[in-house]
Chain A
Amino acid sequence: MTASRRPAPPALCETIPSCLGQAEILCRKIRGWMQGAGLGESCFAVELLARESLVNAVIHGNRCAADKSVRLSLRVGRKWIRLQVADEGEGFDWRKAGQKKPDATTSCGRGLQLYAMYAGRVRFNRKGNRIELWMAKARGR
């Protein structure tokens, strides 16, 4: 008897230069890709976290340096969608950054709060220049 092979889970992998315009183009591509893959109900959360991660990588990670790039991979499993974004910057101390909680008058610093709201699992590498986010797939799709 031959074991049946499962098809490879859908994935989107892209590398972009450190530029907000390119990040915007990639976010629109993710929206179309999610909808095309029948994952429209998870699309908002995935696009939002991809936007946050890409903008952080371009601005804070690579400091918009034209010679540095940002890598994104999006993989869809049976129950989870995994987003990974990595930049070539110096990283940051995510252990300390997570302790700040913005109030309703604070106009910045909501990125980590958004991750906590939409992702079931958030993991940074030690250096703080790569993030992995796991989001539960919306049910019934």
Chain B
Amino acid sequence: MAAYVIEQKDGQGRVTLEGDLTAITVPELQAALRKVLQQGASELEFDLTRAAILDSSGMGLLIAAANSLAPQGGQVRVTNVAPDIFRLLQGMRLTTRLNVSRRA
């Protein structure tokens, strides 16, 4: 079973993680995102509602996605982030770059 669901509409992509974003999930998701970017998505939202942990591989994927979108003026948004993951991204100085918002 895939560990994520990708939806696309009007140049907006939404990736809903079904669990953690870590080294084990990154390679498959990376390949899927390449296709989404080739189809012209200008904005990507990563919904981390179900993620309890994010490791450096997961961070790398988010940064790579932001880097791919930046030349066209696009951006990444990381939403519904758990408090521990938010503190981690804050410590890594990535909350602005990745437009991170906390879980309500």
Contacts and interface: CB of A to CB of B under 8 A. Distances in A.
A105 B23 contact: no
B65 to A, nearest CB: 9
A111 B67 contact: no
B22 interface: yes
Contacts of B40: none
B24 A24 contact: yes
A48 B53 contact: yes
A103 to B, nearest CB: 8
Interface in A65-120: 104-108, 110-111, 113-114, 117
A59 B57 CA distance: 12
B84 A110 contact: no
A128 B66 CA distance: 33
A45 B67 CA distance: 27
A55 B92 CA distance: 19
Contacts of B37: none
Interface in B39-65: 52-53, 55-57, 59-61, 63-64
Given A20-B24, A21-B24, A104-B97, A51 B55 contact: yes
Main secondary structure of the interface of A (DSSP, over half): helix
B88 interface: yes
A52 B53 CA distance: 12
B97 A48 contact: no
Nearest to B96: A104
B56 A110 contact: yes
Contacts of B35: none
Given A105-B67, A110-B59, A55 B23 contact: yes
A52 B22 CA distance: 10
A101 to B, nearest CB: 10
B88 A108 contact: no
15 contacts: A20-B24, A23-B23, A27-B22, A44-B53, A47-B53, A51-B55, A55-B55, A104-B63, A104-B94, A107-B61, A110-B60, A110-B92, A114-B88, A117-B91, A117-B92
A64 to B, nearest CB: 12
Contact of A104 (B23, B53, B93): B93
Contacts of A107: 59-61, 63-64, 67
Nearest to B84: A44
The 8 tightest CB contacts between A and B, nearest first, are: A44-B84, A104-B97, A107-B60, A110-B56, A107-B63, A107-B64, A24-B24, A55-B23
